[in-house]
Amino acid sequence: TNAGAGGGTGKYIPPSQRDGAKRGDSMQKPNRDDLPTLRVTNLSEDVQESDLWDLFGRFGRISRIYVGKDQETGLCKGFAFVSFEDRAEAERAMKKINGLPYDHLILGCMWSLPRGEREAK
């Protein structure tokens, strides 16, 4: 007898990988590499995530913000990633923020490359 309606192998198969499931059918959020994401550089060490929500929020709907922080001190390491839901809004933000004086520094703002395309440093 089969245990459950899964088909009998006893292994759990996520709904997105079961027979008949098409990519995009699930309700999950898009992969973060699929979102239009900006890499923000030259941030001061005291920048908080809330500062970036305030700075970028006026350009459109933000999906997520990640601030690179030193694990020991908790201070910003000078960069962050801001993911928008809409590419046009992200592009508008990039054009306005790149070169903007902020907290006594000049911000850099460019498209973030997906993990596989970033050059190893």
Q: For 2-39, what is each residue's pLDDT tens digit?
A: 455 555 567 777 766 766 655 554 455 556 568 999 99
Q: How much is the average pLDDT of 84-95?
A: 98
pTM of the complete model: 0.70
List the Cα angle 67/113/38 in 5-degree steps.
45
- The alpha-helical segments, DSSP class H, found in the chain are 49-57, 87-97
In the chain the domains, ranked by start, together with CATH numbers, are 39-112 (3.30.70.330)
When the pLDDT of each residue in the chain is averaged and rounded to a whole number, the result is: 84
- Give CA torsion, residues 42, 40, 47, 96, to 10 deg: 100
What is the chain's percent helix, strand, coil content, to nearest 5?
25, 25, 50
Neighbours of 1 (CB within 10 A): 3
Which residues make Cβ contacts (< 8 Å) with residue 92, sequence separation at least 6?
Answer: 59, 60
pLDDT band at 118 (very low <50, low <70, confident <90, very high): low
| The predicted structure's pLDDT at residue 34 | 83
